[in-house]
Amino acid sequence: MWEDEHISQYLLMAHLSQETDSASRKRSTIIKTIDWIETILRKKGATILDLGCGPGLYSEVLAERGHAVTGIDFSRRSVDYAQREAKKKDLHIEYIYANYLDDLPEAFRNRFDLAMMIFCDFDVLVPNDRAVLLKNVLSALKPGGLFIFDTLNTKAPEKMNHIGKSWELEETGFWKREPYLALSETFDYPEAKVILQQHIVIFEPHQLSESNQLSESEQLSESEQYRVYRFWNHYYSTDTLEQILSACGFSEIENHDNLLPEDGLGSREMVTFYSAIKPQQKL
């Protein structure tokens, strides 16, 4: 989805919108979050790795405050936008178009005072990918470096309150430039602590020929008539995350609740931030 030419335009607009928190949080919340991060970081001019940086909304504020920021994101459109904005504002931010689950550059090893992953990106990772991410974070942090991220907690299924079905029929919209029907359904799997948001997007067939029939070349295969998008979001108890982080080698793990403002959607209660330290000794 992040590389789809049409959808990525809508995702970028959602990141930048101050009317919704659907892709990024509003600027006022971002600033308050960074204020809080700096109270834990306690370092001026820190080296910071922003994982899943999107269009650079956190990276820019951190750079404006004198930190040396590197942002990584898998959306080419978001990275391109972030680079243009940094140049326009004369901010020295290194943006990298890459998947943070791939091997990080050797130059990243033991380089950063802080690695951060905000907006519950941690929750979309399956266990194997989660292990890869934590390994990469440990490698990139200096001994004593700080990892900060946020997750959905066990209140999420109740607070999200949209388990069920919906549909939309659009001439053009988020999923396609052409007409489409989107059938959406949300599921909760409490035994796995996972919420699934599934969207089946059905495309309108090609224009009919003069005979009002589709020619053989115009016929769409079944797989070309629709796409299925599945977004899996884990939610975690504090005990579970402490075990995961400890097993990967982190120490001084702390959870921080109620950091977000009231938004009418329950985010303040269902999102927990975590901080953890890479130990000073060599792992």
Break the chain into its structural domains and give their ranges.
7-153+237-277, 157-233
- Region of 236 (left: φ > 0; alpha: ψ -120 to 50; beta: rest) is beta
- Nearest 5°: the CA angle 181, 5, 171 is 30
The superfamily in CATH containing domain 7-153+237-277 is Vaccinia Virus protein VP39 (3.40.50.150)
Question: What pLDDT, in 10s, does the model give residues 55-95?
Answer: 999 999 999 999 999 999 999 999 999 999 999 999 999 99
Question: What pLDDT, in 10s, does the model give residues 15-53?
Answer: 999 887 777 999 999 999 999 999 999 999 999 999 999
Q: How confident is the model at residue 209 (pLDDT cuts 50, 70, 90)?
A: very low
- pLDDT at residue 169, rounded to an integer: 95
Question: Which residue would you say has higher pLDDT here, 216 or 8?
Answer: 8
3-state secondary structure of 32: helix
In whole angstroms, give the CA distance from residue 149 to residue 118: 5
Q: How confident is the model at residue 162 (pLDDT cuts 50, 70, 90)?
A: low
In whole angstroms, give the CA distance from residue 271 to residue 155: 8
In whole angstroms, give the CA distance from residue 62 to residue 101: 23
pLDDT exceeds 50 at position 269? yes
- pLDDT at residue 136, rounded to an integer: 98
pLDDT exceeds 70 at position 256? yes
pLDDT exceeds 50 at position 218? no
Residue 187, both tokens:
């599921």
